[in-house]
Structure 1
Amino acid sequence: MEYYAEVKVMGDAYGGGFSNGLTMCGSQSAAAFHKVEDRGEDAVYDDDRQHRIVLHKKTVGQAVEVSTEFMNDSPEAVTLEMLSSFAVRGISADRIHRLQSFWSAEGKLRTETIEELHLEPSWNRCGMRVEKFGNVGSMPVRKYFPFLAAEDSKRQEFLGIQLYCPSSWQIELLCKEDDTLTIAGGIADRDFGHWTKKVGPGERFETPKAVIARGKTLYEVCDKLVKAQKPAISETDKKMGIIFNEYCTTWGNPSYDNIKKICDKLKGKGIQYLVIDAGWYGKGQGWWNSMGDWSVNEDKFPGGLKKIADYIRSCGMIPGLWFELESVGTNSGHYQDKEHLLLKDGVPLTVGERRFWDMEDEWVIGYLGEKVIKLLKECGFGYLKVDYNDTIGMGCDGPESLGENLRKKVQATQGFFRKIKAEIPEIVIENCSSGGHRLEPSMMELVSQASFSDAHETLAIPLIAANMHRVIRPEQSQIWAVLHAGDSDSRIFYSIASTFLGRMCLSGDIYDLSEAQWSLVEQGMQFYEMASDIIRSGVTVRCEYSTAQYNHPTGSQLVIRQLGSRCLAVLHRFENSEAADLEFLRNGRIIAEYGSAEEDFSAKAWIYEMDN
């Protein structure tokens, strides 16, 4: 396997082999560069036009970080149409693994053979074969995660790649001259993401990074990629505390009275955070299209939010608050504030009932500093849930291309996340984007936790929760268990056991639960606390499931995560399931167990010690 760089300069010839419009790899621009120097792990390439590329490589744990820097030392400006974050060639693989993702169906594993992808070389090796995928917009996890794993089943070798790109991105698989593959990826190029970048004389541009790892199994290579991430987890949040979010209790209608009622029910039950979700602002016109002004609804919270935040703390919990800070809804007084909104074709960029703040605008940053950061400080909130419920799309007006303008706006959003952390260092930030649309590593490095999905009451929760092990740390993956008075014991086990695949978050009709139901929930909370070190620091060694359906799952799922000699096993049964084969317990000593998996849609979990 050879690391190198792909680049396309405007005005140069595109690659041949029937590839123009499919890929910008193999262009005249890339062919003109030749290696002139190795600097440690880095490689330096020059062409004869005073352009330089530095391929940066850095070993991080059991993975390699890669990025590409373009330097223009010529007297003329250069416009890039494509610059790869990574490019590797000479890859032997017969299967490709990707993670598909839609709203409330995040991370579904898709495995295809090279033949199914139609990536066999042409008979005379002159035709380029291309499989190109990615995302366009400001929701980087949409249709696919920025992830790929290439498997050589004969050698039992996997190559895993994860892109750190929170806006439009792409990954390409190419085959032309032999049976090996070239894999390249980075910012979505001019063809795919409407991106060009002008680099003036003496200027330079560096791509977002990618992380690459190798391993003997898919889960081994995924674990290396995930452990290469460096999340800014708050010191407050390092004990894997349990969250209660009231959204599925009040359904977007929180008030002082109903939050107080929730507090009184949860007091002394071991909950670390109580999060007030959407609906605390506006004039009673609905939470969905009232964001932007961030004025407290005094009918719901007389005197503001400090009183209820103080009450939450008096009950032994850290108060949290929801914002969708980048968006402006139709009911906001700023909806027509064209000067400070993103524009496209000269008019405000509108998606459904939302417009978007220009996060590069200093006035906007000052406004959000007052409305978000100041409110959090003055009221004593220690937890911030940042939601994001639609995408900018291909880009917006600005000084550069649509795609580059988009990239800069999203970078500015990330800058505001850093500003929040700088001003409130102990804050616990949750990354949410209608669930999992921003479960991308550069976003995950800015936060303590993330909402894994909006599939809060669906039967697919354990499937989606297990999927997340391949791309984010389970200690950051917030899994909801929504509880109802009508839940059977089996349904409670099914819901609570799902949270053992990440961070436990409770919601639902908690004040209507019986004492017996609460007892099952509290037993699950105790089990979660016992398993928390395995969830946080372990390695997922087994994930088996027998269903392709998410709306009507069948069969069962078993996930095993190991830390030293201790293991956490989580079993879920779906429709038409059979009694589980518990062979994994035969050489182990059970330390704790929770639940009962005696029927369809039930679940059980074990903590056990492996015999030497």
Structure 2
Amino acid sequence: MTKELLSQYTLNDMIVQYWIDPSSHQVGLLLVPANLAAKVDTDKEYVIDPLIQVKLVGDDYPGGFAQGRTMRNSQSVKDFRYEKQYVIEDEQSSRIITVLRNEKNLVMEHMLSYCTGFEACEVNTTIINKGIGEVHLEMLSSFSLGGITPFEKGDTPFTLMIHRLRSKWSNEGRLDTRSAEDLQLEPSWSRHGVHSERFGQVGSLPVRGFFPFVAIEDTKRNVIWAVQLAHSGSWQMEIYRQDDALSVSGGLADREFGHWDMILRPNEELTSPSAYLTVVEGDIDRATQRLTSMHGKSLTQLPKVEEDLPIIFNEYFTTMGVPSHENILLLSNKLKGKGITYLVIDAGWYAEEGKGWEDNIGDWNISPELFPQGLEAATQDIRKCGMIPGIWFELETCAPSAEAYSWTEHLLQRDGIPINSGKRRFWNFMDPFVIEYLSDKVIAFLRKYGFGYLKIDYNETIGIGCDGFESLGEGLRQQLTAFQAFLQKIRDELPELVIENCSSGGHRLEPSMMGLTSLASFSDAHEELEIPIIAANLHRAILPRQSQIWAVLRKEDSKKRLIYSMVNTFLGRVCLTGEIYDLDKEQWNVVDEGINFYRRISAIIKEGLSYRYGPVINSYRHPEGWQAMLRVRSDQLEALVVFHTFGGHLPEQIDVQVSIDKKYEIEAIYAEDHKDITLHEGVLSYKIKGDFHAAAVLLRSIQANTHIADHNQI
């Protein structure tokens, strides 16, 4: 267990340490908060966790009862030796490249990148075949982080907690926290058997079961290591234990977990998906927001119209899948002057007589019955009323009533049979015909009719993969790479187009898809009581400025319900829909007030940090308790507090400590009764009137410094 410090780098408030075993030439990676570097116990007994986890077909599998549970630490890993390390720097970034090589002249480059001013780093792995023969891969990690926890000798019982974000349709981002002991991640008495908690997702819905995220917390030192993967296909994470230190790795789902293997021919290379890594003294909210801040690097090229986080109106819950020129004209005039920027025509515009719209996806012919004057007349009406027209596509799939559904030579297959998933088949994006077809049906269409907003939906999964490559998993990886290239083609040809990432709501809320789009549908919990719970969860996974939240307005809605719906959207981006023709003047006053309030808080949503207060919410469908979200703008000049009450036993009053020394004063309130809210000596109080109420408060700074109180976790 001999190890030596190979190198060390300071990145903002983090220190990156590379440790090497002089006998095996294995290199490991350790991250620590800079002000705790002196507390690292260099005598802690553990085997260095290799920097890269890889497995080649034909090499020995790992021992310790591991096969079938993990492919980590196989003979392939042991055969790679440290060769060199070098750093590439410029004014804005640093890249630390560590090179490993085996006797077959297979080279692995581990690159850790850091951009000035950020609180996390990006890691990926490139494997290059510089030999003379083919290499058959069946595992490759993006990252591997070991030595946890480095601040104490031994196996540190009752110290390590594992945080994950569970997810399913309309129930996204639930925090799952368990001890290492609960997950049987204690070493055995002899240190022989190994255990890996391997989890992830298989298919083309990357946020299904879990988000591609994990965090490990040292509760004694109040330190959290957190990681997020940027990948839209099958992925895995592994928390691994054999000795006194815990390790965590992740990347492409391997052959055992994700049906993936591939052949690397001479002079070919493969780069893994990126992983974002951070370490911080603090809680889970602080750690996750350090990761999501990395998403901001991809948002510098967004259309200018997105700068002030404008409001969307999506007509789906107004027309219920039957948009027409007539009702779009009525909508446009009704919404004129309401502060709406985008009016989106959702599913149904292509419905053909006798086919409907749900089963007619793929041909994309404008319905002559619904739009007898064509779509150009409808988009002109929208623009005349001061809004940007938007349109819905589910462009990756075909449905049974569409002619395209029968074009099997252009669709994905498994075992030579078209993949049927529910009522969906999938285009083959490796096929030039498909690219040409969709370039005409989507890109040329958007340009011809002057659409400025594209909602891309995706309502099924390809599953384990498709034919055409060495493995089904490699087929899936290639397909999703090709689709993202087509998405980039749309961006390149229509740079001012705003693109919404939707996948039955929130099934694609991962960094690679978020980086190619302006915003995303947060969930399909369209008008459910749990909306604010899910919306708050997602502050840990995506940027609130990209989280589009539904407010479905109904004619029977009371003032209480309308405020609840509007306040939900203040946890992200406002997306309105519903029975707006039938709202009376009093109801519209409530909505208009909410729109005006959102305009005042959009800068806080765009740039800031979030803190959650309140008890754990156990049932989302039948929520009990309350929550408050405090979001402080990056420059600390303003803050927003969003209150929600649910069912069950409630306190008489909710108190949120927003500061000390009277830093803030109340600037504006959006609530049923402003008298319910008071601010005294840095404590904002909300007098509860009953269940399922909501309120929002804008605070303005009156002093220079800020202080965020301790708070409960979700």
TM range (shorter): over 0.9
- Corresponding residue for 1:34? 81
Contact 1:385 1:432 in 2 (8 A): yes
Aligned-residue Cα RMSD (Å) equals 1.2
Paired with 1:529 and 1:579, the residues of 2 have a C-alpha distance of: 31
Counterpart secondary structure, 1:42:
strand
User: Which stretch shifts more, 204-213 or 595-604?
Assistant: 595-604
1:592 alignment partner in structure 2: 668
The residue type paired with residue 641 of structure 2 is A
Instruction: Say whether the 8 Å CA contact 2:612–2:627 is kept in structure 1.
Output: no
Post-superposition CA distance 1:487-524 (Å, at most 9, x none): 11111111100100000010010110111111011111
2:203 is the counterpart of 1:137: yes
Deviation string, structure 1 residues 366-422 (Cα, Å, up to 9, x no partner): 100111111111110000000000000000001221001101101111111111111
Listed one character per residue, the Cα deviations across residues 238-289 of structure 1 (whole Å, up to 9, x for unaligned) are 1110000001111111111111111111111110000000000031423221
Unaligned stretches of 5+ residues in structure 2? 1-16, 18-27, 30-50, 88-95, 150-158, 673-687, 704-714
Q: How far 1:583 sits from its partner (Å)?
A: 4.0
Tell me if the contact between 1:282 and 1:293 (Cα under 8 Å) persists in the aligned partners: no
For the pair 1:124 / 2:193, whether they are aligned, the reply is no
Q: Could you tell me how far apart the structure 1 residues matched to 2:379 and 2:656 are?
A: 49
Among 314, 323, 326, the alignment partner of 1:254 is 323
Which residue pairs with 2:100 in the alignment? 45
Distance 2:629 2:701 in 1: 16
Q: Hey, what does 1:150 align to over in structure 2?
A: 216
Question: For 1:176-215, what aligned pairs fall within 5 Å after superposition?
Answer: 176-178=242-244, 180-215=245-280
TM-score, normalised with respect to structure 2: 0.84
**CA-to-aligned-CA distance 1:540-571 (integer Å, 9 cap, x gap):** 13343431111000011111110114210000
Give yes or no for the alignment of 1:385 onto 2:451. no
**Which amino acid is 1:325 matched to?**
L
CA contact (8 A) 1:78 1:200 kept: yes
Partner secondary structure for residue 654 of structure 2: coil
Give the structure with higher Rg (CA): 2
Match of 1:312 among 349, 369, 382: 382
- Number of the residue aligned with 1:269: 338
List aligned pairs for 1:105-504, cutoff 5 A.
105-178=171-244, 180-215=245-280, 216-229=282-295, 230-232=297-299, 233-284=302-353, 285-504=355-574
The one-letter code matched in structure 1 to 2:603 is: D
Displacement of 1:63 = 0.9
What's the CA shift for 1:585? 5.6
Unaligned 5+ segments in structure 1 are: none
Counterpart-to-counterpart distance in 1, 2:431 and 2:615: 48
Structure 1 residues 228 and 341, CA, compared in 2 at 3 Å: closer, same or farther? same
* Per-residue Cα deviation, 1:319-369 (whole angstroms, up to 9, x for no partner): 000000000000000111111000111011101111000011111011001
* Cα distance in 2, alignment partners of residues 556 and 377 from structure 1: 47
Give the aligned residue type for 1:252: G
Please point out which of 646, 651, 671 is paired with 1:578. Answer: 651
Of 534, 541, 556, which aligns to 2:611? 541
Q: State the alpha-carbon separation in 1 of the partners of residues 183 and 75 from structure 2.
A: 27
- 1:153 and 1:366 map into 2 onto residues whose CA distance is 55
- State the distance in 2 between where 1:542 and 1:525 align: 24
Write the deviation string for residues 143-168 of structure 1: whole angstroms up to 9, x where unpaired.
00001111111111111100011100
Query: How far apart in 1 are the matches of 2:700 and 2:220?
Result: 33
Aligned residue identity for 1:146:
P
Aligned to 2:141: 84
Cα offsets for 1:430-457 (capped at 9, x unmatched): 0000000001100000000100000011
Report sequence identity in percent. 47
The alpha-carbon distance between structure 1 residues 253 and 75, as it changes in their structure 2 partners (threshold 3 A), is: same
How far 1:580 moved relative to its partner?
3.1
- Structure 1 equivalent of residue 120 of structure 2: 63
The number of residue pairs the alignment matches comes to 611
Range moving further from structure 2, 18-27 or 41-50: 41-50
Are 2:613 and 2:656, in contact at CA under 8 Å, matched by a contact in 1?
no
Residues 14-33 of structure 1 aligned to structure 2 (within 5 Å): 14-33=61-80
Please name the residue that 1:13 is paired with.
60
Equivalent position amino acid for 2:122 in 1? E
Of stretches 398-407 and 541-550 in structure 1, the one that deviates more from structure 2 is 541-550
Query: C-alpha distance in 2, partners of 1:406/1:553?
Result: 38
Deviates more, 1:247-256 or 1:277-286: 277-286
Q: Which amino acid aligns with 1:395?
A: G
**Structure with the larger RCO, 1 or 2 (CA within 8 Å, 6+ apart):** 1
Contact preservation (8 Å) 1:545, 1:558: no
SS in 1 for 2:298: coil
Contact 1:466 1:543 in 2 (8 A): no
Q: Separation in 2 of the partners of 1:183 and 1:611?
A: 44
Matches of 2:478 and 2:691 in 1, distance apart? 49
Is the CA contact (8 Å cut-off) linking 1:134 and 1:171 kept in structure 2? Answer: yes
- Whether the aligned pair in 1 keeps the contact of 2:361 and 2:402 (CA below 8 Å) is yes
Amino acid at match of 1:337: W
Task: Provide the rounded CA distance (Å) in 2 between the counterparts of 1:523 and 1:76.
Answer: 68
| Aligned twin of 2:109 | 54
1 CA distance for matches of 2:601 and 2:320?
A: 31
Instruction: Name the aligned partner's letter for residue 246 of structure 2.
Output: L
Aligned equivalents of 1:381 and 1:20: distance in 2? 53
User: What is the CA–CA distance in structure 2 between the aligned matches of 1:538 and 1:140, rounded to whole Å?
Assistant: 26
SS in 1 for 2:590: helix
Give the CA deviation at 1:471. 1.0
What CA distance in whole angstroms lies between the structure 2 residues aligned with 1:133 and 1:544? 29
Report the secondary structure of 2:392's partner residue: strand
What is the rounded CA distance, in whole Å, between the counterparts of 2:144 and 2:254 in structure 1? 14
Q: TM-score under structure 1 normalisation?
A: 0.98
Deviation string 1:286-334 (CA, Å, 9 cap, x unpaired) is 3221100000011001131110001000000000000000000000001
- SS of the aligned residue for 2:545 comes to helix
